[in-house]
Amino acid sequence: MKIEVRGLDAYFRSTHALRSVSLGVPANTVLAIIGPSGCGKSTFVRCINRMHELVPGARQTGQIFVDGKDLHARGVDPVDLRRRVGMVFQRPNPFPTMSIYDNVVAGLRLNGIGGDHAELVEKSLRQAALWDEVKDRLHTSALSLSGGQQQRLCIARALAIGPEVMLMDEPASALDPIATAKIEELIRELRQQLTIVIVTHNMQQAARVSDHTAFFYMGELIEHGETEQIFTNPREPRTEDYVTGKFG
Amino acid sequence: MKRRRLVNHLMTALCGFGLLLALIPLGSILWLVISRGAPALNLDFFTQLPAPVGETGGGVGNAILGTLSMVGIGCILGVPVGVGAGVFLAERGNGRTGDAVRFTAEVLSGVPSIVVGIVAYGLVVLPMHRFSALAGGVALAVLMIPALARSTEELVRLVPGSLREASLALGVPQWRTSLRVVLRTALGGIVTAVLLSIARAAGETAPLLFTALNNQYWNFKADQPTASLTVQIYNYAVSPYQDWHQKAWGAALVLLLLVGALSLIAKALARNRFGTAR
Amino acid sequence: MTKVHTDKSYDKELDELRAKLLTLGGKVENEIALSMRALAERDSKVAEEVLDADREVNRLEVIVDETCRRLLALRQPAASDLRLITTALKVVVDLERIGDLAVNIAQRAIDLNQSPPLRPVHDLQKLAELCQKQLRAALDSFVDGDAARAETVIKDDDLVDALYHNLFNELLGLMMEDSRNIRRANSLMFVAKHLERLGDHATNVAEMVIYMVRGTDVRHPHSRGLK
């Protein structure tokens, strides 16, 4: 297991956001997390790169292992962790003051690693399937790109620091269907090199891109299994109700 | 239907009238300063020392230099503190300390500028046993800090949280994120805020009376009394000499141009606040 | 299933699909009953009715297909809904085939009615009854979502096969007895074969019902290396 979560509980002040969640993600697979709004999906992925603890009043108990190492063990620096566990957010968030090129290498530059990164920029942009669209305007503003391109730029930016795990928090929810399809194709490509956890509101998207699916409801992990099983023959009635649209 | 249109026109007319009313004093000030001040302007006015009473010619060169140097000192002292406090308030200012700092800034910005002058007098002039450009600069810095802190806080808070998250998720430590992403993104706005506070400081007279005093000669030292446009205007204006009145108008015009230019630059910068790279 | 879809029109469409499939099943049952009556009572008019009835069955098959396609395209069904629709798509083929078999039997009846009756073959009536029972049970298991009942249908197919073999031998005996029997006995042999096929289709329906209810595919365990 690349990621192993054991008895994870997460809180926002008095809100119990995650209740005793345990699951594993094998290396080079895609785990999709589905569930209604406020079910703890985002909180769950934010625990994996320790972004959750940055929110005032947030805390968590339980263990998360990446490559068998406890994230909360003494001596684990969350900053180092985040270089190994990349993240892509719901809305494309390129740095507005930087060019396309600078955005890709932002992870290095902001950490004070200077120098010429032309090769890395090309490699990352190619991995993010954006190279051909931007190679002639690398030094123009990142904001000149379309929403879908911006999101792929954000993926390139996350790839440039060489992560092993990629967390995606609804990466296509602000994009049109074609841009969404490109992101989904990209996710399947990236699985060759990375382990991916993707949060999505779009069940068809989860069905299309993931190997395993986890259904969260009210902070609990209700069911976790192979995606095909979850969508054709869920074991839990609540999963059944959710994937068939019988909720609320 | 007809009535609604009528009311609409009436209200529009009222608003226009209000605008006109507000513009009258502004326009008359501009007109007065330009019409009276323009005849006084010539090259000597910018480059020469003030002439003694009775002599013609001379200028306010030393006062222009004094104002620029004291505003410069004020910036060097005030901008880092003001901007730093603003960043602190925005990034970490949600607790008690933040409230205390914010309250202090609030009070400080409400303090009359003459009081600030007296404070600088007590703080700098008395221990140094002399009036100085440094004391004037300190007074101006104290005036700049609260406004700068509040506007910096607002500007930093305007930077979308998603950018902060993006940076943190790239494994960038918090302090670097604050400095190189958040502050960098808000920079355009902060520069605007700094320019506006400079413009405001340049127009202050009261705090300089007790601190920089005045000087009839060129002064290039920070620990010496220094002339400034505002104090010079004051001195000339209260004098009984017609020629000095003329010079006061000229100096007022120079000050107006200086402040106006700063405001225009600030506006131009503000327009492309989220300006593109390079 | 007490819970309803958040979008109630989706429920309505699924209910419509179920209803259409049941109508189709009822019509097919009727076809079989008519064709067997045509054979037993030597009534060619009844046989003609079967041919008419089958046109209605064919029409319904197309409608069920369309309904399924529409649901798949517009609703992106998942889980039990998906299983219902895929089941419907497959079951409708079996039911239509059963209708065709009924038509074949009816045609044999018309043919046989041209000649004097053969000595009554009791097992044929028994086989027909058993196959009708199997079809009824398969359709009921679909309506009730009753996988246990569907399992019984699958198990009882052995009875159908056994009976068919007996009948086959009996008819073979008739042929050997007197060569003038051959043509008629051969026709009856076809009827028996059609009934046996009908039983197989009922079994297919039952297998799909088990998939629909439990989500497990019980077909061809040996070919798939199961068990």
For C29-40, the pLDDT digits (tens) are 999 999 999 988
The band of A212, judged by pLDDT with boundaries at 50, 70 and 90, is very high
Residue B73 has pLDDT above 90, yes or no: yes
Strand arrangement of the beta sheet that strand A3-12 belongs to: A15-25, A3-12, A58-66, A69-70
The mean predicted confidence, pLDDT, of chain A is 91
Mean pLDDT of A52-65: 90
- Name the CATH code of domain C2-223 (choices 3.40.50.300, 1.10.10.10, 1.20.58.220, 1.10.3720.10): 1.20.58.220
CA distance C193 to C181: 18
Which residues are CB-neighbours of C77 under 8 A, at least 6 positions away?
A: A244, C71, C84, C85
- Identify which of A158, A178, A161, A177 has the alpha carbon closest to the alpha carbon of residue A169: A158
**What pLDDT does A111 receive?**
84
Q: Does A174 touch chain B (CB under 8 A)?
A: no
- In which region does residue C207 sit, left (phi positive, over 0), alpha (psi from -120 to 50) or beta (all else)? alpha
pLDDT, position B272: 57
C94: closest CA of chain A, how far (Å): 22
pLDDT in tens, A161-205: 999 999 999 998 888 888 889 889 999 999 999 999 999 998 999
- CB of A94 within 8 A of CB of A154? yes
Residue A112's pLDDT is 80
Mean pLDDT of B101-119: 89
Instruction: Tell me the pLDDT band of B276, cut-offs 50, 70 and 90.
Output: very low
The token pair that represents C184 in the structure block: 């008629």
Confidence band (pLDDT; 50, 70, 90) for C1?
very low
What mean pLDDT is predicted for residues C119-125? 81
Going by C-alpha positions, the residue among A147, A131, A129 that lies closest to residue A118 is A131
Q: Which 8-state DSSP code applies to residue A143?
A: G
Q: Choose among C7, C214, C216: nearest Cβ to A245.
A: C7
| Residue B92 forms contact with A (CB below 8 Å) | no
Once rounded to an integer, what is the mean pLDDT over residues B191-198? 89
Residue A246 touches partner C, C-beta closer than 8 Å: yes
* pLDDT value, residue A7: 94
pLDDT reported for residue B93:
80
Cα dist from A226 to A43, A164, A213, B18, C46, whole Å: 22, 22, 6, 70, 54
Q: Write down the ipTM of this complex.
A: 0.87
List the chains bordering chain C where 3 or more Cβ pairs fall under 8 Å. Answer: A
Instruction: Kindly state the average pLDDT of the residues B120-146.
Output: 91
Q: Is the pLDDT of residue B199 over 90?
A: no
pLDDT class for B277, splitting at 50, 70, 90? very low
Sequence ranges of the domains in chain B:
63-270
Q: Cβ B171–A81 below 8 Å, yes or no?
A: yes
Give me the mean pLDDT over the C66-73 stretch: 92
pLDDT of residue A21: 94
Average pLDDT score over chain C: 91
Higher pLDDT, A7 or B210: A7
Domain definitions of chain C by residue range: 2-223
Looking at residues B62-76, what average pLDDT do you find? 91
- CA-nearest residue to C83 within chain A is A232
Percent of chain B past pLDDT 70, that is, above it, reads 97
Angle between the C182-214 and C147-177 helix axes, to the nearest 10 degrees?
170
Whether A157 and B181 lie within 8 Å, measured CB to CB: no
DSSP C167-217: HHHHHHHHHHH-GGGHHHHHHHHHHHHHHHHHHHHHHHHHHHHHHHHHS--
For domain B63-270, give the fold.
MetI-like fold (1.10.3720)
pLDDT of residue C2: 58
Cα–Cα distance, B229 to B249 (Å, whole number):
11
Question: How close, in Å, is residue A100 to chain C by CA atoms?
Answer: 38
Kindly indicate the confidence band of residue B275, based on its pLDDT and cuts at 50, 70 and 90. very low
Q: Is the pLDDT of residue C75 over 60?
A: yes
Residue in the block written with tokens 């990349």: A86
**Whole-number pLDDT of residue B242:** 85
Average pLDDT, integer, range C191-197: 94
Identity of the residue numbered B15: C
Mutate to test the interface with B, among A88, A89, A97 (most CBs of B within 10 A): A97
CB distance A107–B171 less than 8 Å? yes
Would you say residue A224 has pLDDT above 50?
yes
pLDDT (tens digit, 9 = 90+) per residue, B213-257? 888 888 888 888 888 888 888 888 888 888 888 888 989 999 999
Output the pLDDT for position B77. 93
Q: Looking at residue A74, what is its pLDDT?
A: 85
Q: To the nearest whole angstrom, how far is the Cα of A209 from the nearest Cα of chain C? A: 16
Question: Which of B268 and B74 is assigned the larger pLDDT?
Answer: B74
A8 pLDDT higher than 50: yes
Task: Let me know if chains A and B touch, i.e. at least 3 Cβ pairs under 8 angstroms.
Answer: yes
What is the per-residue pLDDT for A248?
58
Q: How many CA atoms within 13 Å lie on the side-chain side of A177?
A: 1
